[in-house]
């Protein structure tokens, strides 16, 4: 039942730290109270309107949503702006952008003059409490906004109102009559129900960086700033004012769904239509991609795609992305499209993706479908170190006002929420930190609430109850906007007419006020420009190979050579450090089991080692069937067509969708909704909605109940963690290429990886050790031999890896440049020359620490001693070669190792464990390379440097440790009880001895830890950073 | 020269344990500074917690640990108390902040005769104070400090060491370079040159050329410091000095329990107090007055406050008289002691020689007399609080509290945030623009008569974070007697009277 009232002034939690309710909550509550309309007017922002709009659509509410924004001008004037139509909306976005672009992130500044050009917006003005100010403002309003301006009257029932309320109302009424400004009422709503008062006060306390007890008058005086029942509103305001709200609401007919986006038109040549241009490009590309001719099946798909693109008017989107990748090609920036775009043959022809649709089963509906009625999603990875060039190209081509990044909403998560609420409630920081530290958010058995209570954190006091309940409320509230990783919006006209643009915290970057989800809800297109480290590494490798081996290679060439058994041989042995996607500990233990032998095996390998398939119990059946230990059966031909290539086990998301389509009769679009339900965080509820349809659909088509239930269980099991096949296929290309390069050109490959750090799973130290194990000679940093980056050098007919100056910690960029610039052709001959090259003290110290002057000065101590002398600056002494009379202590191996790690992060001399072994500290410990000699289930002890600690959330409290010694890596499994009992060793040992039992499955070996002994003391000073709890 | 250095590794922690001496310590207690452990007790050590460990690591090692914040001011005060206590036994004490003391032994040995007895006395002080102490002897202060921090011994064993230069040098030579009291960067530099032990450095100081090389590379101050370690040159040090304060007592010839009799010695003591203060151009704001019994022990102790700093004996005498008139004497007394510890220097006052104020007491003096007559706690001031709840919007404060500086309030914070470009906040509801009655009842009472509402409502709802949750709708009402009442209604629809408009 709808009443005659519309709320015209409400603020959601997207007015950061000011209001206490989500936009969704506001609209739902407004509907419950029978409002006819609600204006969401966040402060100088429209960040929340899309969510309100989506909520209304989803719950099919009859409430009308009005878009607006509240502003506080610099002249101390309070206004609420509302949008009656599209033109007004564009004006509002323009004004918001203007105010925001003037200031740093999070602030805005607007003046009266900024509003004068606005011709379509409605203005609601709240007269000031200092009555003398109001005459001038009302005159200004009538001069510029006659017919579109109202006097806003609100009642908060606070102390000020009880004293001055009558006088204020009389003043407003007189003003309204005198200046012909109709009066309208509103609620100044900051929360959807009065019960949110506590949260509102806490947010205020967080914003003012104090506690609620110290807020004084800043905390809410009552709960009147909430959505009020109609009966109360009728008592508070006159009928005329309430009627005015309806009049205004009815005049506001702007709907967000009318936002349509015009693409930049400059991509299409003048004489052609967008459709024709796209078709030409696709045909041209198809000839290049399929030189042997196009199969009829493929041609049919191309036609179907182009038809759909034309119907949905997505041509410009593809043209925009095509333009981007052409730029990258021209600049020789490696790129690869992935995600659902890899399902499109058109994308393959446009050279956006690199996955041959003949190789994988393409599911076009995954990419676009009529039922989806949503724009396609194209992600393009670029070399991570050159992605900025792509950004700059976009900004240059389209201009800063037509291109901007999408935002990400940073919300309160458990830690920040608990800490902020705790401080606001007055708890001491040390206590809060101690409590947070002990909560394991990945513990599936206990929620954080239970864990906090279990700590006996506080006795049953009001404050502790409040802390927990308010933390629960605040989790998920937005804190601020941040820039999205790489999602760009590009439009034909100024972007600020579509959505407000504000400054990001990075210089020269602008962000729109909506995030990815908002853009999807509204059907606006975004291009994801992402970065991938491996692309940089591959590009570098190609450059090195061209330079040193004289061979020009491309990704396409390597894949065209077919499956190389030698390369797959490496992978089958689990020898994959540095190979894209299959180098992690988990992948390395899977490789010897799965034994990939062809491209498609790699595609499966990448997709299968993920929590989804593991939890969905897909892995073991697949392995068994692959090894021939189990028979493969298909209940029907349709199912066989879908699952044959994965031996009857659904591993990819697309297979699930296809199954739903062929076995349960889902249409393409419905199946895609299923996929989205699987991927969303509300999947548990949404997914169950599909259960009946799926199971019944299958039963109707003659499948057995058991089979249907099992499929559904598998869907639930791997839901959000399942990999799309196209994604996996794109990655498999890169995985194969990196493995190939690693096999045939190891020196170049490792050099490229090292030059592309940070990326991947391993540290420089581990990569270098792996290189050495593969027969690459690694040469140390040297002032005379090294370049800035790691490079190859020819020593005795072999290409070796020379470490570059960039590896030296503490050597500045300028220092490196200077050292290289001043280096004589024959190299520096004496320390004195190095000292005279103009490097500053810290750079010299860094060089000495890295032992880069070893050829000239002996050991590090001597080098430093020489560097500290200042005699070389004095001309009289310049000729004298100073021989120091001092006898400095000698450098022992331990110190040398320590300095190596501190200065370079790696050591080419001894491994720490080798030193300990030499000293006899590790008598019975088995080395990594000798593990194969120990029997299965045999007792043993091993020791090594801890280089990795992982506790995957899905592993039930088990931690995987990686120990490294001079011969390789070893995997240790630590059960939770073992970890708890031996906390000290487990948590902070850098060098660990483990006594336990060896388990062997095939060629995969693990040690189950029994007793842990901390050996760090035996070797103090090793600062190998362990990759902890990734 | 002989120096004794004593370091108190757990000064703050020991003071706490002292306070709760009743129960034996079973819990792990640590003192924390900026998320690092600074001090830990024996139980904590048993769980492998060590100083300088990160708090997060420590809390992972033991389930229950009590955290105390580090209070440097408190430690400084304790240190002074310890120095004061040791002053009885040793004359030349130097404070070594944050938690150590240095004693110049040479002069004292002449008085004590033997080192053992001297050490025993000092040890007794620490034992009485229940603080842990690490001892060290050396020929120079710097060396003694290093020994106390790194190679501390027990008190009796100290006597085995001689304080001659040679021994000091020998002991120092074996220590690592990390012991030196020089900037961390310089220590790193020494280590990076391969020096691990002090002996290696000392070896370089012998020959002149080597000394020069060392000084040229590492700086002359370092060489000077190393020299200071070895030799026992007299250095300029600030010895601990007790603060000067006034304390005098007088005994009567006979016991009395009449305050009027006590006025005579009071007069004399206050006169010498005035003399003491005049000589130093200072004034006093509070005095400790102790009446002593026959045995010289304190029978009662009182504190006299003056609103304005005063040195006039007559002024203090009148205050004292008023206080004694009020309190009287409960037992026979025989002596009086007056102590004045805190004095304030004179503010410049341009006194007109010819203005005589006859019979006029100014406000400050009136307050003094009221306080003396009624008792300090009963003379209070009103202060406005920023609290929405009416009964808490005003608070009472004793006069003494007003003397303290008002800490930065939220208003200051707000004004500094609005000077930046913030999103503007709406004007807040200040209590001064609220409709409030002249008379506010201490406790609201239930409304028991018929009234007519003439103004309202004003809704006040807050206090959700404490026990004082309130939710009230206030109205102004007129009753049968035509009085204007301030009434409110609570959620249960019960009406209360909270105040009256005059």
- Residue A575 tokens, joined: 């020898």
pLDDT at site B261: 84
**Chain A CB within 8 Å of residue B408 CB:** no
Taking CB atoms and an 8 Å limit, are B69 and A430 in contact across chains?
yes
| Structure token pair of residue A396 | 């240059």
Answer yes or no: do B216 and A220 touch at CB < 8 A.
no
Contact B414 A208 (CB under 8 A): yes
Q: What is the pLDDT of residue B164?
A: 75
Residue of A nearest to B473 (CA): A157
pLDDT band at B425 (very low <50, low <70, confident <90, very high): very low
- B246-345 folds as Dna Ligase; domain 1 (3.30.1490)
Question: What's the pLDDT at B174?
Answer: 84
Contact A216 B385 (CB under 8 A): yes
Distance from CA of B440 to the nearest CA of A (A): 16
Angle, helices A653-664/A725-744, rounded to nearest 10 degrees: 140
Verify whether the Cβ–Cβ distance B59 to A438 is below 8 Å: yes
Contact residues, B window 18-37, toward A, CB-based 8 Å cutoff: 32, 35
Using a CB–CB cutoff of 8 Å, tell me whether B394 touches chain A: no
- Mutate: best of A159, A189, A207, partner B, most B CBs <10 A: A159
Domain boundaries along the sequence of chain B: 3-140, 246-345, 437-501
Of A213, A430, A983, the CB nearest to B465: A213
Q: B327-365 burial, b for 16+ CB within 10 Å, e for fewer?
A: eebeeebbbbbbbbeebeeeeeeeeeeeeeeeeeeeeeb
Tell me how far apart the alpha carbons of residues A2 and A64 are, in angstroms, rounded to a whole number: 11
**Which chain B positions have a beta carbon within 8 Å of A864's beta carbon?**
192-193
pLDDT value of position A684 = 54
Using CB atoms within 10 A of its CB, is residue A171 exposed (0-12), middle (13-18) or buried (19+)? Answer: middle
Nearest-angstrom CA–CA distance, B297 and B290? 9
Rounded to 5°, angle at Cα B201 from B199 and B202: 65
- Core vs surface per residue A35-44: b (16+ CB within 10 A) or e: bbbbbbbbbb
**CB distance A354 to A736 below 8 Å:** no
Give residue-wise pLDDT tens across range B50-79.
888 888 777 777 777 777 778 777 778 778
Nearest-by-CA chain B residue for A463: B465
pLDDT at B429 over 50: no
**H-run or E-run covering A164:** helix A159-179
Q: For the domain bounded by A265-409+482-533, which CATH number is listed?
A: 3.30.1900.20
Residue in chain A lying closest to B55 (CA): A434
Residue A914 CA: distances (Å) to CA of A765, A860, A964, A967: 15, 22, 11, 9
A962 phi and psi angles, rounded to 5 deg: -115, 125
- B136 — phi, psi (to 5°)? -160, 145
Query: Is B455 at the interface with chain A, CB within 8 A?
Result: yes
- Residue A405 Cα, gap to closest chain B Cα (Å): 24
Q: A50-88 b/e with 16+ CB inside 10 Å = b? A: bbbbbbbeeeebebbbbbbbbbbbeeebbbbbbbbbbeb
Contact B463, B389 (CB under 8 A): yes
Contact B459 A224 (CB under 8 A): yes
Which residues in A lie closer than 8 A to residue B212 (C-beta atoms)? none
Q: What residues of chain B lie within 8 A of the CB of A849, using their CB?
A: 192
Q: Is residue B277 within 8 Å of B311, Cβ to Cβ?
A: yes
pLDDT of residue A804: 93
User: ipTM, 2 decimals?
Assistant: 0.71
End-to-end CA distance of chain A: 54
Domain residue extents for chain A: 6-192+227-258, 265-409+482-533, 552-734, 762-904, 912-1028
The Cα–Cα gap between A559 and B222 comes to: 66
CA distance B180 to chain A (A): 19
B194 at interface of A, judged by CB pairs closer than 8 A: yes
Measured CA distances, A451 to A397, A443, A460 (Å): 53, 9, 15
Q: What is the pLDDT of residue B350?
A: 47
Counting one residue from chain A and one from chain B, the pairs whose CB atoms sit within 8 A come to: 168
**DSSP assignment, residue A238?**
-
Residues paired with residue A926 on neighbouring β-strands, in sequence order = A942
CATH entry, A6-192+227-258, from 3.60.150.10, 3.40.30.10, 3.60.70.12, 3.20.20.140: 3.20.20.140
| Beta carbons of A885 and B213 less than 8 Å apart | yes
> Which chain B residues are Cβ-neighbours of A217 within 8 angstroms?
386-388, 428-431
Asked if B429 reaches chain A (Cβ–Cβ under 8 Å), the answer is yes
Q: Which chain A residue shows the shortest CA-CA distance from B59?
A: A434
Closest CA relative to residue A48, chosen from A504, A681, A412, A517: A517
* Entry pTM: 0.71
- H helices of A550-636, where? 555-560, 565-572, 585-594, 599-608, 611-615, 619-626
> What is residue A418's predicted lDDT score, i.e. its pLDDT?
92
The shortest CB-CB distance from B428 to any of A217, A984, A987 is to A217
Report, as ranges of residue numbers, the positions in chain A whose pLDDT lies below 50: 681-683, 881, 1021-1023, 1029-1030
Q: Which of A707-716, B211-220, B475-484 is the most confident on average? A: B475-484
Give CA torsion, residues B362, B365, B366, B372, to 10 deg. 180
- Chain B residues closer than 8 Å to A987 by CB: 57, 60
B45–chain A Cβ distance below 8 A for any pair: no
What's the pLDDT score for residue A356? Answer: 74
Q: Which two tokens stand for residue B251?
A: 């005994």
Cβ of B60 within 8 Å of Cβ of A103? The answer is no
CATH number for the domain running over A912-1028 = 2.40.50.140
| Minimal C-alpha gap between B48 and chain A (Å) | 9
- Which of B34, B36, B194, B435 is best to mutate for the A interface (most A CBs within 10 A)? B194
Q: What is the CATH number of domain B3-140?
A: 3.40.1170.60
CB atoms A889 and B194 under 8 Å: yes
Q: What is the pLDDT of residue A439?
A: 73
Q: What letters, b where the CB count within 10 A reaches 16 and e where it falls short, cover B379-408?
A: beeeeeebbbebbebeeeeebeeeeeeeee
Inspect the interface and report whether the beta carbons of B193 and A861 lie closer than 8 Å: yes
**CA-based nearest residue to B57, from B75, B81, B76, B32:** B32
Residues in B touching A43 (Cβ below 8 Å):
423
Q: Do B462 and A222 touch (CB under 8 A)?
A: yes
Nearest to A217 among B69, B216, B429 (CB): B429
**What's the CA gap between A440 and A951, in Å, rounded?**
11
Confidence of residue B121 (pLDDT cuts 50, 70, 90): confident
Q: For residue A861, which residues of chain B lie inside 8 Å, CB to CB?
A: 192-194
State the DSSP string of B320-362.
HHHHHHHH--SS-EEEEEEEE--EEEPPP----TT----S---
Rounded CA separation B18/B6 (Å): 20
- Smallest CA–CA distance from B194 into chain A, residue: A889
Instruction: Kindly tell me the number of DSSP H helices and DSSP E strands found in chain A.
Output: 44, 23
> In b/e form, how buried is each residue of A829-846, taking b as 16+ CB within 10 angstroms?
eebbbbbebebeeebbbb
How many angstroms separate the CA of residue A222 from the nearest CA in chain B?
4
**Which residues on B lie below 8 Å from A891 (Cβ)?**
194
């Amino acid at each position: 039942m709808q009443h005659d009232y519309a709320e015209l002034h409400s603020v959601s939690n997207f007015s950061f730290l000011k209001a206490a309710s989500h936009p969704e909550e506001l609209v739902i509550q407004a509907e419950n109270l029978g409002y006819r309309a609600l204006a969401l007017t966040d402060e100088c922002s429209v960040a929340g309107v899309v969510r309100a709009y989506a909520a209304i659509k989803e719950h099919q509410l009859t409430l009308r949503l009005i878009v607006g924004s509240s502003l506080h001008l610099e002249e101390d004037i309070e206004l609420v702006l509302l949008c009656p139509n599209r033109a007004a909306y564009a004006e509002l976005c323009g004004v918001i952008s203007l105010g925001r672009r003037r200031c740093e992130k999070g602030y805005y500044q607007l003046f009266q003059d900024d509003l004068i050009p606005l011709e379509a917006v409605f203005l609601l003005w709240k007269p000031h409490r200092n009555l003398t100010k109001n005459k001038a403002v009302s005159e200004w309003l009538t001069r510029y906004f006659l017919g579109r301006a109202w006097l806003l009257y609100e009642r908060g029932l606070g102390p000020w109102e009880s004293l001055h309320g009558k006088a204020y109302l009389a003043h407003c009424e007189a003003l309204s009559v005198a200046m012909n400004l109709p009066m309208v009422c509103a609620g100044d709503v900051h929360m959807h129900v009065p019960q949110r008062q506590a949260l509102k006060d806490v947010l205020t306390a967080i914003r003012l960086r104090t506690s609620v007890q110290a807020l004084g008058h800043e905390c809410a005086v009552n709960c009147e700033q909430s959505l009020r029942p109609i009966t109360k509103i009728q008592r508070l305001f006159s009928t005329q004012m309430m009627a005015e709200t309806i009049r205004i609401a009815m005049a506001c007919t702007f709907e967000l769904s009318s936002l349509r986006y015009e693409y930049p038109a400059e991509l299409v040549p003048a004489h052609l239509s967008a459709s024709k241009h796209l078709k030409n490009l696709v045909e041209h590309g198809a000839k290049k991609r399929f030189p042997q001719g196009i199969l009829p099946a493929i041609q049919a798909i191309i036609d179907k795609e182009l038809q759909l693109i034309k119907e949905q008017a997505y041509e410009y989107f593809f043209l925009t992305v095509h333009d981007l990748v052409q730029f990258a090609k021209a600049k020789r920036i490696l790129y690869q499209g992935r995600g659902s775009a890899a399902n499109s043959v058109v994308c393959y022809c446009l050279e956006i993706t690199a996955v041959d649709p003949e190789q994988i089963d393409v599911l076009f509906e995954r990419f676009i479908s009529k039922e989806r009625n949503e724009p396609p999603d194209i992600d393009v990875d670029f070399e991570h170190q050159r992605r900025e060039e792509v950004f700059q190209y976009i900004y240059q081509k389209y201009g800063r006002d037509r291109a901007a990044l999408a935002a990400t909403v940073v919300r309160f998560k458990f830690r920040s929420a608990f800490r902020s609420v705790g401080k606001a409630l007055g708890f001491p920081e040390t206590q809060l930190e101690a409590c947070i530290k002990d909560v394991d958010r990945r513990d599936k058995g206990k929620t954080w609430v239970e864990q906090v209570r279990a700590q006996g954190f506080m006795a049953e006091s009001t404050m502790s109850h409040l802390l927990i309940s308010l933390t629960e409320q605040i989790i998920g509230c937005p804190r601020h906007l941040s820039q999205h990783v790489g999602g760009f919006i590009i439009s034909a006209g100024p972007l600020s007419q579509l959505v407000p643009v504000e400054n990001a915290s990075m210089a020269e970057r602008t962000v729109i006020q909506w995030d990815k989800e908002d853009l999807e809800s509204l059907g606006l297109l975004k291009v994801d420009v992402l970065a991938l480290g491996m692309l940089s590494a591959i590009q570098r490798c190609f450059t090195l190979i061209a330079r040193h081996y004289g061979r020009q290679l491309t990704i396409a060439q390597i894949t065209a050579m077919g499956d190389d058994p030698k390369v797959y041989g490496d992978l089958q042995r689990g020898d994959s450090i540095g190979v894209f996607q299959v180098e992690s500990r988990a992948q390395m233990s899977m490789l010897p089991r799965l034994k990939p032998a062809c491209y498609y095996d790699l595609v499966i390998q990448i997709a299968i080692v993920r929590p989804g398939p593991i939890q969905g119990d897909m892995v073991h059946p697949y392995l068994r069937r692959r090894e021939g230990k189990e028979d493969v059966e298909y209940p029907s031909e349709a199912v066989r067509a879908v699952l044959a290539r994965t031996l009857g086990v659904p591993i990819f998301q697309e297979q699930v969708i296809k199954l739903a389509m062929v076995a349960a009769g889902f249409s393409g679009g419905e199946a895609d909704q299923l996929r989205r339900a699987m991927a969303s965080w509300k999947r548990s509820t949404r997914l169950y909605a599909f259960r009946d349809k799926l199971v019944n659909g299958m039963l109707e088509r003659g499948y057995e109940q058991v089979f249907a239930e099992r499929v559904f269980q598998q869907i639930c099991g791997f839901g959000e963690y399942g990999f799309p096949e196209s994604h996996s296929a794109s990655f498999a290309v890169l995985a194969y290429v990196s493995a190939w390069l690693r096999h045939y050109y190891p020196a170049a490959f490792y050099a490229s990886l090292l030059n592309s750090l940070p990326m991947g799973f391993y540290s420089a130290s581990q990569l270098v050790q792996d290189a050495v194990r593969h027969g690459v000679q690694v040469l140390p940093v040297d002032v005379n031999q090294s370049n800035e980056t790691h490079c190859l050098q020819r020593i005795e007919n072999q290409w070796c890896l020379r470490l570059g100056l960039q590896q030296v910690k503490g050597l500045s960029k300028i220092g490196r440049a200077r050292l290289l610039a001043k280096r004589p052709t024959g190299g520096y001959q004496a320390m004195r020359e190095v000292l005279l090259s103009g490097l500053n003290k810290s750079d010299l110290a860094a060089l000495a620490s890295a032992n880069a002057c070893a050829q000239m000065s002996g050991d590090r101590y001597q080098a430093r001693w020489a560097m500290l002398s200042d005699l070389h600056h004095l001309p009289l002494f310049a000729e004298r070669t100073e021989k120091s009379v001092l006898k400095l202590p000698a450098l022992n191996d331990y110190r040398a190792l320590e300095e190596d790690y501190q200065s370079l992060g790696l050591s080419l001399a001894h491994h720490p464990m080798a030193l300990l072994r030499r000293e006899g500290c590790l008598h019975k410990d088995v080395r990594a390379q000798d593990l194969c000699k120990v029997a299965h289930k045999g007792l043993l002890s091993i020791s090594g440097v801890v280089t990795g600690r992982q506790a995957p959330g899905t592993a039930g409290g088990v931690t995987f440790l990686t120990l490294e010694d001079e011969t390789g890596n070893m995997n240790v499994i630590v059960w939770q009880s073992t970890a708890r009992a031996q906390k000290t060793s487990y948590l902070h040992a850098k060098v660990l001895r483990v006594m336990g039992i060896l388990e062997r499955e095939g060629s995969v070996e693990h040690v189950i830890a029994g007793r842990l002994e901390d050996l760090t003391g035996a070797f103090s000073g090793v600062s190998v950073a362990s990759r902890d709890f990734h | 020269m002989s120096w004794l250095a004593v370091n108190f590794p757990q000064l703050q922690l020991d003071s706490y344990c002292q306070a709760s001496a009743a129960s034996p310590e079973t819990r792990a207690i640590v003192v924390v500074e900026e998320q690092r452990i600074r001090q830990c007790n024996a139980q904590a050590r048993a769980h492998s917690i060590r100083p300088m460990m990160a708090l997060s690591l420590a809390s992972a090692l033991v389930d229950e640990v009590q955290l105390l914040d580090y209070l440097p001011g408190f430690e400084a005060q304790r240190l002074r108390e310890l120095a004061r206590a040791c002053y009885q036994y040793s004359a030349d004490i130097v404070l070594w902040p944050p938690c150590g003391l240095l004693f110049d032994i040479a002069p004292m040995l002449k008085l004590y005769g033997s080192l053992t007895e001297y050490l025993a006395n000092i040890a007794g002080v620490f034992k009485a104070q229940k603080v842990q102490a690490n001892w060290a002897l050396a020929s120079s202060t710097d060396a003694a400090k290093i020994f106390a921090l790194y190679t501390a011994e027990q008190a009796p064993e100290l006597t085995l060491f001689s304080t001659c230069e040679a021994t000091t040098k020998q002991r120092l030579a074996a220590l690592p370079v990390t012991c030196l009291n020089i900037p961390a960067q310089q220590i790193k530099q020494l280590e990076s040159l391969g020096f691990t032990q002090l002996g290696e450095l000392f070896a370089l100081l012998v020959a002149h050329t080597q000394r020069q090389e060392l000084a040229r590379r590492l700086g002359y101050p370092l060489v000077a410091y190393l020299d200071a370690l070895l030799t026992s040159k007299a250095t300029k040090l600030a010895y601990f000095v007790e603060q000067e304060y006034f304390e005098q007592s007088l005994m009567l010839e006979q016991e009395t329990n009449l305050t009027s009799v006590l006025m005579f010695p009071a007069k004399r003591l206050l006169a010498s107090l005035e003399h003491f203060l005049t000589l130093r151009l200072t004034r006093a704001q509070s005095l400790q007055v102790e009446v002593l019994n026959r045995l010289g022990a304190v029978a009662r102790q009182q504190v006299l406050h003056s609103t304005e700093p005063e040195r006039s004996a007559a002024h203090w005498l009148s205050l004292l008289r008023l206080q004694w008139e009020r309190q009287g004497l409960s037992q026979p007394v025989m002596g009086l002691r007056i102590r004045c510890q805190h004095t304030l220097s004179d503010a410049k006052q341009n006194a007109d020689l010819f203005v005589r104020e006859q019979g006029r007491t100014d406000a400050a003096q009136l307050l003094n007399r009221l306080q003396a007559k009624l008792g300090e706690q009963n003379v209070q001031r009103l202060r406005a609080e920023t609290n929405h709840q009416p009964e808490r919007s005003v608070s009472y404060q004793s006069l003494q509290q007003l003397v303290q500086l008002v800490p930065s309030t939220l208003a200051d914070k707000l004004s500094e945030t609005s000077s930046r470009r913030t999103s503007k906040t709406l004007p807040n509801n200040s209590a001064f623009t609220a409709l409030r009655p002249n008379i506010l009842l201490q406790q609201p009472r239930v409304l028991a008569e018929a009234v007519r509402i003439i103004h309202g409502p004003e809704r006040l709802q807050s206090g959700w974070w404490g026990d004082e949750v309130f939710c009230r709708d206030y109205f102004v009402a007129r009753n049968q007697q035509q009085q204007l009442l301030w009434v409110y209604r609570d959620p249960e629809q019960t009406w209360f009277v909270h105040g009256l408009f005059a």
